[in-house]
Amino acid sequence: MSQLKPKTIFEKIWDSHVVKRAEGYPDALFIDRHFIHEVTSPQAFDGLKKRGIQVFNTSRTTATADHNVPTKDQHLPIKEALSRHQVETLRKNCKEFGVELYDLGHAYQGIVHIIGPELGLTQPGMTIVCGDSHTSTHGAFGNIAFGIGTSEVEQVLATQCILQHKPKTMKIEINGKLGKGVVSKDIILYIISKISASGATGFFVEYAGDAITGLSMEARMTICNMSIEMGARGGLIAPDETTFNYIRGRKFAPQGEAFDRKVEEWKKLTTDEGASYDSVLKFDAADIAPMITYGTNPGMGMKVTDRIPTVAELKEISEQHSFTKSLEYMGLEPGSSLLGKAIDYVFIGSCTNARIEDLRLVADMVKGKTKASNVEVWVVPGSKQVEDQARREGLDKIFEAAGFELRSPGCSACLGMNEDKVPAGKYCISTSNRNFEGRQGPKSRTFLASPLSAAAAAITGRVTDVREFV
């Protein structure tokens, strides 16, 4: 018998989920866990109704309301008619098709990519999809997780499978010690600034190296979350003791001996010696500093102490038009520094950075301090469980004393679908994942940064090098 070909973790998981591989067709890939929410599911349920079919396996489907929900007065009916209709449609569909829904007011409600891991629904070796591009977050547990469109949501509801071509593989290795004030958000913003917003399109990424394995689960999730911001289908990290310890005892995780057996299986999820990737990139952790974006895509980022490039410094002439347009939108000058730039809003939230560790980082920094008078600060926890935990730890008191507003969970000002919008022309330093034009509200201007950098900016009212504080 010939030697088995060495495989990457990605290939092991993918190959073990192929229900049918036929010449001329994409693979029919079985999906272990399907998360749905109110915005990208209604048309998919409509499709099932038109075909007269049921959800294939309701026990593999979990729903929550997050994108379009208010973050104030969640106990009251949603004021905005279209938003209310969308959430009510989700309720109706979940009831009709028998799908578990963590609705507003439920102890497990929250941003879909935050509740999956915290409930133990997200596990190593799985295939996970959701009609949301930040599904890549779940990859932190060593699984294949990626965002899909509504037609694909319908496919998965109807058949528990999705037709997909296997993407290419990329390894991103980061070794070395992270500097003062540098957290996982800075690592991913740094990588994207190096390879651009399309640098990993067509690839599925595996993050490795001691700068990655040294991170907590929550910090790893921040990295995998933003894989899509460099175009990657997803990004994963090999599961290890940190992963197993995080999952142990969670609500929907295997319990007792079943858990131990699972861990033995999960330990096999490593990339084999000699397995090859289509692309390998290496970075040194010591080169990473607190990061900030200055433009209108996540690739337009720099160290907070750097200055914005000039048109002449751009790598490609074809970028000039978009670059100039982007800086005009942001109201910034090529070649200038952002340090000391006055800001108007601080948003601490989103599936990137709204877990309990993020809130603790912020609380540690602002304890005993107050926000600058020129800024409004919103802290939007990623889930009801995160909110409850924050209150139990007294973080709410610290935020209140600092003049920060602790809201109820949801996607909120990350995409401004609800009423949490940054006004036109205003600058917001945000822990979210996208600085696209109008993302946080029409004509709003976003600087992406870590929770630490956002907290520092909240105190000074300006773009700040967080290393002055830590």
Q: What residues line the site for other proteins (CB under 8 A)?
A: 19-20, 24-26, 28, 30, 32, 39-40, 42-43, 46-47, 50-51, 53, 56-57, 67-68, 82-83, 85-86, 89, 131-133, 147-152, 154-155, 158-163, 165, 167, 197-198, 201-202, 228, 231, 233, 297, 299, 318-319, 321-322, 325, 415-417, 424, 434, 436-439, 442-443
Give the C-alpha separation, 99 to 34, whole Å: 11
Measured CA distances, 407 to 73, 131, 344, 383 (Å): 9, 25, 18, 11
Query: What is the sign of the dihedral through the CA atoms of 217, 218, 219 and 222?
Result: positive
- Residue 32 Cβ vs other proteins, minimum distance, rounded to whole Å: 8
The least CB distance from residue 164 to other proteins, in Å, is 8
Helices (H), 273-352: 320-330
Q: Is 281 or 314 the residue whose CB approaches other proteins more closely?
A: 314
Minimum distance from residue 138 beta carbon to other proteins (Å): 14
Shortest distance, CB of residue 470 to other proteins, whole angstroms?
Answer: 32
Nearest distance in Å: CB 436, other proteins: 4
Q: Is 360 helix (H, G, I), strand (E, B) or coil?
A: helix
**Which is nearer to other proteins, 133 or 431 (by Cβ)?**
133
300/361 with CB nearer other proteins: 300
Q: DSSP per residue over 132-190, as a string?
A: SGGGGGGGGGSSEEEE--HHHHHHHHHHSEEEEPPPEEEEEEEES---TT--HHHHHHH
Q: Are 384 and 390 in contact (CB under 8 A)?
A: no
Nearer Cβ to other proteins (371/439)? 439
Q: Tell me how far, at minimum, the Cβ of 89 lies from other proteins, in Å.
A: 5
The CA distance from 382 to 56, in Å, is 29
CB nearer to other proteins: pick between 57 and 216: 57
Cβ 179 to other proteins shortest distance, Å: 30
If we measure between CA atoms, which residue out of 65, 57, 70 comes closest to residue 92?
Answer: 65
Name beta bridge partners: 175.
284
* 351 vs 466 by CB, closer to other proteins: 351
Contacts of 1 (CB under 8 A, 6+ apart): none
Cβ of residue 21: shortest distance to other proteins, in angstroms? 11
Rank residues 431 and 460 by Cβ distance to other proteins and give the closer one.
431
Closest approach, Cβ 417 to other proteins, in A, equals: 4
Identity of the residue, 57 or 337, whose beta carbon is nearer to other proteins in the bound complex: 57
Is the Cβ of residue 163 or residue 470 nearer to other proteins in the bound state?
163
Q: How many CB atoms lie within 10 A of CB 448?
A: 30
Report residue 415 as tokens: 């995409």
CA distances from 45 to 32, 95, 151, 184, 411 (A): 19, 12, 10, 37, 22
- Of 134, 344, 105, the closest CA to residue 226 belongs to 134
